Amino acid sequence: MKIFKEKVHLHPIMTFVIMIVVMMLFSVLLALLRLDANYVKVNPNTKEFVNTLVTIESLLSVEGLKYIFSNTISNFVAFTPLSTLIISLIGIGIMEKSGFLKTIFTLLTRNVKKNTVTFYLVLICILSSIVGDLSYVILIPLSALLYLHGRRNPLAGITVAFASLTFGSSINILFTAKDSTILTLTLEGAHILDSNYTLGIWCMLFISAISVIAMAFIITNISERVTAPFFGKYELNDEPTEVDKSLANIVEEDKVIDTYEKRGLKFSIIGSSIYLLFFLYNIVPGLPFSGRLLDDSQVLYIDKLFSYDSFFSNGFVFIVLVLFVIAGLLYGIGAKTIKNNRDVCDNLGHSLDGIGKTLVLILFASAFIGFFKYTNIGSVLVAKLANLIDAINFSGLPLVILFFIIGLISTILVPVSATRWQILVGSVMPVMMNAGISPEFTQFVYKAAEACTLSMTPLFAYFVIYLAFLQKYNQDKKPIGIFSSIKYQLPYILFTIIFFVIIIVIAYIIGLPIGINGIIKL
């Protein structure tokens, strides 16, 4: 339990300020040292391989200062987690205030073992990556409420949800839009040596399925044996907050669903089902008048669903909002917790009460991420790591492990998977293929490394959502700092690294197929 303790309790906003100042000074120093790096980049239009130079940009230069004053606010406004969080909270607010979530979570947790609830939560979080990053702003707040209505500490729910979500965004049984982008880059890297090399979308299915199932059990056990006992029970404060008042109501009420609540649940399920069937029909191609929400210019179905020009992708956040509003509104009408239009309007804004501190936190987080990206520090260091693979001249299993370690480090520096892989693939793929290691196994090792350390980098845009909800449900007068929130993830990170080292070594030695037409050694 000592890994969770923190001696200095800096507020996360102040920590972001300090990190921004330190980053500014580092950018000046590294720019003066003329630190740069080259990496091989594939031109997607001409298919030519271009040697790309990336240099450090100083934040305290004239251009750097212009960037700071010109882009800080625009970075905040354009910060994707900000808009998706606000929209999602509107829908969650009406579901929570109407009593819909209380009824649903009561049914889910009543007479069910705690580890069973946690296991299904973990599995849902892992598989939810199919909907992209929206899963973070939906499932983190819902996980907190699931634990709260299950009379458990919501901090434990937030922590396990974030660990599961970051793992699932990297390793999954389902083929996602992110996987499509990574697979395209992998093929471009493989074509440096073999222009005829092909990869199917299920080339890593077997090893991914084993990883998902095994990690669902591992994350569940860590949560029940380490995380939940550390956070303990969620006790009421002497001066109760809104969260404490909600907990008091839960504790005082017996876990019994009355007639009105059953009727509300019935209304909600019927209305939500009709709404979902309408949208599901419109994303299924080949049926009469169906598929109208898809982008028909794409080849793969996942790209038709989540491409930039897909109506379904562009409107997905609003689609989810309407679903939540329908579920909460119809429940409230049936359960008589919503009696007039004023109740509806008040419920819509319920989850946005007290969001001011979260907005300030997102402001500084977006500034930190935007400034770091401008300096190119992460890109230069990742390119240096890519060149290191070629310079060391490892082969076989030591080469695979070296690449895995580099993947762990590079994920912290550049958490955006496609951007990082674009830097690495042109240098790494030829080395791996010349050593007899297949592109698909190389991609799996890359994604496995990302799954291990994505949850520990504040440069990851959705880390601030995890941090914000830890603050919301924190009962201690001392704030939960950035480093404390990272420490909560350390048990998951440690066991994930151990698991993947074992599975990578076993897979390499045995040499069995890792998916449909997916091999390990060329």
Dihedral (C-alpha) 304, 308, 313, 316: value to the nearest 10 degrees? Answer: 180
- Residues of the chain predicted below pLDDT 70: 1-9, 44-47, 235-256, 308
Q: Which helix (H) or strand (E) holds 468?
A: helix 463-472
- The contacts of residue 163 (CB under 8 Å, 6+ apart) are 219, 223, 455, 489, 492
Give residue 161's pLDDT: 96
For residue range 117-131, what is the model confidence (pLDDT) as tens digits?
A: 999 999 999 999 888
Give residue 380's pLDDT: 94
The domain locations on the chain are 2-78+111-254+354-510
* C-beta separation of 134 from 317 below 8 A: yes
- The contacts of residue 468 (CB under 8 Å, 6+ apart) are 357, 358, 361, 362
Strand-pair category, 36-42 with 49-55: antiparallel
Q: Which pTM does this prediction carry? A: 0.91
Nearest to 201 by CA among 223, 229, 224, 181: 181
Give residue 1's pLDDT: 44
Structure tokens at 110: 């009543």
Give residue 246's pLDDT: 55
Measured between alpha carbons, how far is 384 from 54 in angstroms, rounded to an integer? 10
